[in-house]
A and B are shown apart, each in its own frame.
Chain A
Amino acid sequence: MTQIVNWSGSVRFRPRRIYQPSEEGELAALVRRARMEGRQVRVLGSSHSSSGILETPDYVVTMGGFRGMAAHDSRAHEASFGSGTIIEQALSELYGVDLAPTNTGDVTTQTLVGAFATGTHGTGRGLNVLAGMLVGGRMVNGEGEVVEVSIEEDEEFINAARVGLGALGIFTQVRLRLLPGYRMRRREYCAPLEATMAHLDELVAGNRHFDFYWYPRADVCKLRMLDAPGAGVKVDFGTLVEDRTGWAHQVLPKHNDLIYKYEEMEYGMPLEAGRECFLAVRKRLLEKWRAQVGWRVLWRTIAADNTFLSMASGRDTVTIALLQNATLPHKDYFADMEPILRDFGGRPHWGKKHTLQAEALRPLYPRWDRFQELRRRADPEGVFLNDYLRGVFGEESPGEAGGVGR
């Protein structure tokens, strides 16, 4: 059996078999077979997640047979892609038809649906998680049926499926609502912490994209801003270290060339708690973890949305990410910091390290219960539930009384 290792190296498992279907019918047949056998099916994107969301002892599906742009409508600003399309490829193809995403993260090596399903995001006070671009598509549900879904016909299901953790079905194609191609200017400054905190509200409100890294070994920040050329907050309290302008796909991604790997824990809390939470994280890190942790802390924002399991569901959000070299211990560090992030109402990133289970998660999301209803309807036998998702959703293991049946 082939061993699968995630990008950071901390998740390793050996599935019974790996499939790469090339058409929907083949994928649907596999799901029906797994359902009959009482086995799980999980989709593997780019293996970038470091939570247990990937793991299964049963069937892994890769979507390499579903890649590339299938259709576009430049006037409606929409395009459809195979669900296994790598974001970087999608950006390039969109540029070719004068379209662009509303946002991306720093890294664009994930698959579109892998990034959507885990709630991956970029930064921007007025910008949603990446899955906010998803307005329709085709998917194979837990009964092995191919279904077409759209925001026009079932907005509630789309709001569930955007960040679906791979639990509502397997997308084969996604339709995205986009923007006409646009140019941006990226500016980065090194700045003192005190000045960064003093100007934080202005920086968040006055830039289309704003985030900052905080470096625990020097207690300084790197401010990162992306705006339309000529727009954005003027900064007179830092040192300009990068200034370049280009099309969105040229300046939005930043770290695709990282060769050194890291583990990461990220939580999203209400926007108004973002500064105080960061200062609490900084205080604890300086007091207890500075000797072992040199990697930065990343502070970003996301606009509120109606997506059921988005970190920004129902509230404008600040996200705080803690990073640690993959070659150094991370468990004690993350375990010590996680309660601080939770104290401020934090919700975990589904693709990164966290320890929360259903009883802790349920109160954090206003539409949690409705998500579970839609999930059970789409996958009544729990074909898409692995151990991680059973813990997150509070479903007992197969064979236990009251669990999703097998």
Chain B
Amino acid sequence: MTEGAFQTGGAPLGDPGALREQAVDPTRVEKHPGGLGRMRWVIPGGCAPMGSTGGEPMFTSHEKLCLLNAGKRLANIRITVFFEREEPIGPFIFTIGGRRMRQVRMNDLIHPQAIPLDLPYAVLVESDEPIVAQFTRMDTRQRANASGGTIAWPTTG
């Protein structure tokens, strides 16, 4: 893991504050009936750069949430975004069909509210089916030092 992502147990959807009590070993892999992964994910280290270099949208600096629903049932996803000073925004709502994946650029989300660039944020992902979450960052502010980063799904296989 390159940054501080962690998964939480299969607790019911609800108060984000309950996360404090439910953090689990991020390296543990667990198969749920009908799907792979967990129902709640947190990425606390978000911050999409404002500047970009190169052709867009290919080289637009961005952060991307990559979600896999390996199970058979449709997953209803709700994303809440947290900030240092402002109130959280969300839920950003979408679905992922059974045995399908979806990649969402955080920069592009506008409903219910656009996420400011150059501002640290954290992401809470809640699903009603087990899913696997991955978070990637592309930073092209400096052409020579353009970088990409990925928070990987831990596996023991």
Contacts and interface: CB of A to CB of B under 8 A. Distances in A.
Do A and B originate from a single complex? Answer: yes
Contacts of A295: 110, 114
Contacts of A215: 108
Nearest to B114: A294
A292 to B, nearest CB: 6
Contacts of A327: 89, 112-113
A260 B50 CA distance: 24
A325 B112 contact: yes
Interface in B100-146: 105, 107-119
Given A260-B111, A291-B50, A294-B110, A218 B56 contact: yes
Given A218-B60, A220-B56, A294 B108 contact: yes
A206 to B, nearest CB: 26
B114 A293 contact: yes
B114 A217 contact: yes
Interface size grouping (class) on chain B: 20 to 34
A260 B105 CA distance: 19
A401 interface: no
B107 A217 contact: yes
Interface in A315-365: 325, 327-328
B17 interface: no
Interface residues of A, number: 17
A217 B108 contact: yes
B124 to A, nearest CB: 19
B60 A328 contact: no
A217 B119 contact: no
B23 to A, nearest CB: 30
B99 to A, nearest CB: 22
Most buried by B among A217, A218, A291, A292: A217
Nearest to A258: B111
B57 interface: yes
A327 B116 CA distance: 13
A60 to B, nearest CB: 30
Contacts of B117: 217, 290-291
A219 interface: yes
Contacts of A217: 60, 62, 105, 107-108, 114, 117
A218 B116 CA distance: 14
Interface in B42-101: 50, 56-57, 60, 62, 89
A328 B114 contact: yes
Interface in A214-269: 215, 217-220, 260
Contacts of B89: 327
A328 B50 contact: no
Contacts of A219: 56-57, 60
Given A217-B108, A218-B108, A290-B50, A328 B113 contact: yes
A38 to B, nearest CB: 44
A89 to B, nearest CB: 27
Contact of B107 (A260, A294, A325): A294
A32 B114 CA distance: 48
Given A217-B60, A218-B57, A291 B116 contact: yes
Contacts of B60: 217-219
Contacts of B56: 193, 218-220
Contacts of A294: 107-110, 114-115
Contacts of B113: 260, 325, 327-328
B111 to A, nearest CB: 5
A327 B118 CA distance: 19
23 contacts: A215-B108, A217-B105, A217-B108, A217-B114, A218-B60, A218-B105, A218-B107, A218-B108, A219-B57, A219-B60, A260-B111, A260-B112, A260-B113, A291-B116, A291-B118, A292-B114, A293-B114, A294-B108, A294-B110, A296-B110, A325-B112, A327-B89, A328-B114
Interface of A: 193, 215, 217-220, 260, 290-296, 325, 327-328
Given A217-B114, A260-B110, A294-B107, 9 more contacts: A217-B117, A218-B60, A219-B56, A260-B113, A291-B117, A291-B118, A294-B109, A325-B113, A327-B113
